[in-house]
């Protein structure tokens, strides 16, 4: 069974995962509107992944005696300057999510809730993967430079990336 404070914190994390899903959805839409089909495919996939992260929390909360709450989702931005800007924003966003997961883990240790601590290790690993993924894409883009020809290759590369679950 989870405590009321852990239940509340996990529900807050649900809202963050939902926002991440919407945020990436808005980036996918921007890519679609700016003739970047590879970027669009990549961000639609990222959006689905965040939704899956959210659902995993729902199931866990309900399985452990809590009540998972469907969150209100603030509207993310819709306009972006470039794919480089989008990639920078995603990395910063993931760094913020990592902080949030880490503080949840801290809380579990303080409360000696080892079940939730164990459950959250999946998110710890996932955040490492995502930060690494976005950083490596940004590094490639920096290496290539952002002119029109390279944009074609960057988009192609994003489109060839597959879901990691
Ligand atoms: Fe960014 O991955 Fe969810 O937690």
Residue 92 lies in a domain: yes
**What Cα–Cα distance (Å) separates residue 18 from each residue in 5, 135, 149, 159?**
20, 22, 35, 23
Report DSSP state, residue 117: H
Report DSSP state, residue 31: H
Flag whether pLDDT at 165 surpasses 50. no
Query: Cα torsion for 98, 64, 19, 130, to the nearest 10°?
Result: 30
Nearest to 9 by CA among 146, 134, 160, 120: 120
Report DSSP state, residue 71: P
- Of 10, 20, 96, which is best to mutate to test ligand 1, by the most ligand atoms within 8 angstroms of its C-beta? 20
Residue 104 lies in a domain: yes
**pLDDT, tens digit, for every residue of 76-88?**
999 999 999 999 9
**pLDDT, tens digit, for every residue of 108-134?**
999 999 999 999 999 999 999 999 999
Query: In percent, how much of the chain has pLDDT > 90?
Result: 84
Distance 72 CA to ligand 1 centre (A): 18
The residue range of the domain holding 115 is 4-160
Report DSSP state, residue 146: S
Task: Give the pTM.
Answer: 0.93
Nearest to 39 by CA among 120, 118, 152: 152
CATH code assigned at 68: 1.20.1260.10
**CB burial of residue 99 (10 Å; 0-12, 13-18, 19+):** exposed
**pLDDT, tens digit, for every residue of 141-158?**
888 876 777 888 888 889
- Of 12, 17, 56, which is best to mutate to test ligand 1, by the most ligand atoms within 8 angstroms of its C-beta? 17
Residue 35 lies in a domain: yes
Residue 79 lies in a domain: yes
- Per the CB < 8 A criterion, the answer to whether 48 and 163 are in contact is yes
Nearest to 119 by CA among 12, 4, 15, 10: 10
Tally of structural domains, the chain:
1
Residue 52 lies in a domain: yes
Closest protein CA for atom 1 of ligand 1: 94
Residue 141 lies in a domain: yes
Distance 58 CA to ligand 1 centre (A): 14
Residue 165 lies in a domain: no
């Amino acid at each position: 069974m989870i405590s009321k404070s852990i239940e509340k914190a996990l529900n807050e994390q649900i809202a963050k995962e939902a926002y991440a899903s919407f945020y990436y959805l808005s980036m996918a839409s921007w890519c679609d509107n700016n003739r970047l089909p590879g970027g669009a495919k990549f961000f639609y996939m990222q959006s689905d992944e965040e939704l899956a992260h959210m659902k995993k929390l729902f199931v866990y909360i309900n399985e452990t005696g809590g009540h998972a709450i469907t969150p209100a989702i603030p509207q993310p931005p819709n306009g972006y300057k470039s794919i480089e800007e989008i990639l920078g924003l995603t990395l910063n966003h993931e760094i913020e999510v990592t902080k949030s997961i880490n503080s949840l883990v801290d809380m579990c240790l303080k409360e000696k809730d080892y079940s939730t601590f164990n459950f959250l290790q999946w998110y710890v690993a996932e955040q490492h993967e995502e930060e690494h993924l976005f950083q490596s894409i940004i590094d490639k883009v920096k290496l290539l430079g952002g002119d029109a020809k390279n944009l074609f290759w960057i988009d192609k590369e994003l489109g060839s990336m597959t879901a990691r679950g």
